Structures are given as structure tokens and as C-alpha cells.
Amino acid sequence: LPPRTPGGRVMMMTSGQDIASGMPGEIAYALQKGALASITRSLATTLADLAVTVNTVNPGPVDTDYMTGDDYAAVAAMFPAGRWGMPDDPARLISWLATDEAGWVTGQVVDSEGGFRR
């Protein structure tokens, strides 16, 4: 195999459950999300000498038709802009994190929640 060229990006997805105040019955889910934040920081440190950045994105609530009616409106009211995130909102952040411009950003859990209030 040819020598590996230094550099690269590792990106993972999470939710805000690791920063939320807790939800009954969601212990395993919250544990996994908290562990993902820790893995992000540890892996970023491990891969830094290879010029690999490691970040995790929390897209927040995104309008994917999984919620409708009164629940949909109630969640929309939790955003300062009064609207749900659209799939393109976190996608633009992820695209930027993959660029050379974001080479200094590593070991972060980046919230793309539009100011969502829990």
C-alpha cells in the first residue's frame, strides 16, 4: 500500500440529550450520547498528529416529518425564530467542517440547533 497522506475528517452525529436536563426512561440513550462527546475529544487528541480533525454535530430538532400537529407547533415555539431546522441547516455546517477552513476545529460537539430551548 502507498503511504497514507496526513489529514482527514471524522464526523459523528449526536443529539442534545447529553446536555438536556434528563428524560425519564432515556438513561441508555443519554449515556450513549454523553460517551460520544467524550470519544470525540479523545479521538481528536489521538489523531491530531495525523492532521485529522474529529467533531460531532448535534443538528437539534430537524423537520423530517416525524412530528405533526400540536406537537409540531409546540416544538417550533421552542426556537427563537419560531421554526424547525431544515435538513440543509446542519448539512451546511457539516460541509464546512469537512473543508480546510475548519482545520483548527477539532474535538468539539457543535450544536446546530437554531437556539433551541429545552
Domain edges within the chain: 8-111
Taking the C-alpha atoms of residue 115 and residue 80, their distance in angstroms, rounded to an integer, is 6
Cell (9 digits) for 52 = 485529522
Q: Which residue has the cell 409540531?
A: 72
For residue 22, is pLDDT > 80?
no
Q: Is 66 a catalytic residue?
A: no
Q: What are phi and psi of 93, to 5 degrees?
A: -65, -45
* Confidence (pLDDT) at 104: 96
Alpha-carbon distance values, 74 to 3, 38, 66 (Å): 53, 32, 14
Fold of the domain spanning 8-111? Rossmann fold (3.40.50)
* Confidence (pLDDT) at 107: 98
- In sequence order, the 6+-apart residues with CB closer than 8 A to the CB of 80 are 114, 115, 117
The pLDDT tens digits of the residues spanning 27-77 come to 888 888 889 999 999 999 999 999 999 999 999 888 888 888 888 888 888
Q: In what order do the strands lie in the sheet with 52-58?
A: 8-13, 52-58, 108-111
Are 97 and 63 in contact by the 8 Å Cβ rule? The answer is no
pTM of the model: 0.84
Selected catalytic residue, list 29, 31, 38, 92: 29
Q: Which residue has the higher pLDDT, 86 or 30?
A: 86
Q: Is 5 strand, coil or helix?
A: coil
Q: Which residue has the higher pLDDT, 16 or 34?
A: 34
* Confidence (pLDDT) at 60: 86
For the chain, the residue count is 118
